[in-house]
């Protein structure tokens, strides 16, 4: 079955520190992958997406993610976290054989310490 | 373009009541979906549609009905609300051949 796993429920980092949020996927066909961010009480904002091609994907707000097929991972990174990055982050994915349906991970709550 | 719109933003229902969550998009997207978001569970697909007149079940369809009479609208109906349906509901749309979904702002539903 297709699945997306975010192993970390909560992560706390200091402002200015680097960040890596983990995402693992399980798809038989070529996956397409996304990272979304959700601030409290808000909707979902797309940070970045991977469909094919270059495995390092740049997104908004200084985020990037790297698709690693050998590790079935699509981890989100940021070199220097800002206090405004505190939010919940969702990894989502689908496959070319699965229509346009997305499967979401359970989310990682990011806390930024000043 | 307004994108994907959802009404209402907030709703409180009593157990057993019925209601319809509205979703509309003005981007001429063929695909539309409904998700529910619950703490610790991410977003889960309720129902989806690949075009007017065509709908199918997602991961958690029980207790919900949908129909798609036009390309623009995809309402979600709760026939007899239950406390387990307390959640935030998101509607999304995309066009055929794309995998990037555009989300509405959400409806927060509380069933007492």
User: Can you give the length of chain B in residues?
Assistant: 112
Residues paired with A34 in a beta bridge: A49, A92
Give residue B98's pLDDT. Answer: 79
Give residue B71's pLDDT. Answer: 96
Give residue A53's pLDDT. Answer: 84
Q: Three-state DSSP class for B1? A: coil
B41 CB within 8 Å of a chain A CB: yes
Q: What are the pLDDT digits (tens) for A98-110?
A: 667 889 999 999 9
Residue A23 in contact with residue A73, Cβ under 8 Å? yes
With CB atoms and an 8 Å threshold, state whether B106 touches A104: no
Q: What are the pLDDT digits (tens) for A46-61?
A: 999 998 888 999 999 9
Residue B80 in contact with residue B66, Cβ under 8 Å? no
Q: Which residues of B25-53 are buried (b: 16+ CB within 10 A; e: fewer)?
A: beeebbbbbbbbbeeeebbbbbbbbbebe
A38 burial (CB, 10 Å; 0-12 / 13-18 / 19+) is buried
Q: What are the pLDDT digits (tens) for B30-42?
A: 999 999 999 989 9
Q: How many A-B residue pairs are in contact by the CB < 8 A criterion?
A: 54
B33 CB within 8 Å of a chain A CB: yes
Once rounded to an integer, what is the mean pLDDT over residues A31-38? 94
With CB atoms and an 8 Å threshold, state whether A100 touches B48: yes
């Amino acid at each position: 079955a297709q699945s997306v796993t975010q192993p970390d429920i909560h992560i706390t980092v200091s402002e200015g520190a680097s960040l890596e949020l983990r995402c693992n996927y399980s798809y038989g066909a070529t996956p397409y992958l996304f990272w979304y961010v959700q601030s409290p009480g808000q909707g979902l904002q797309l940070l970045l997406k991977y469909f094919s091609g270059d495995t390092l994907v740049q997104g908004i707000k200084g985020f990037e993610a790297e698709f690693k097929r050998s590790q079935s991972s699509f981890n989100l990174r940021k070199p220097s976290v800002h206090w405004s990055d505190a939010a919940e982050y969702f990894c989502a994915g689908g496959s070319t054989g699965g229509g346009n349906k997305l499967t979401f991970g359970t989310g990682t709550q990011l806390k930024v310490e000043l | 373009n307004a994108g994907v719109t959802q009404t209402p933003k907030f709703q409180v229902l009593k157990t057993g009541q019925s209601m319809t969550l509205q979703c509309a998009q003005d981007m001429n997207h063929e695909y539309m979906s409904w998700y529910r978001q619950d703490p610790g569970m991410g977003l889960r697909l309720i129902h989806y549609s690949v075009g007017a007149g065509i709908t199918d079940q997602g991961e958690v369809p029980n207790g919900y009905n949908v129909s798609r009479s036009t390309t623009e609208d995809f309402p979600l109906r709760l026939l007899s609300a239950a406390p387990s349906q307390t959640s935030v509901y998101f509607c999304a749309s995309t066009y055929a051949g794309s995998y990037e979904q555009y989300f509405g702002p959400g409806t927060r539903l509380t069933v007492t």
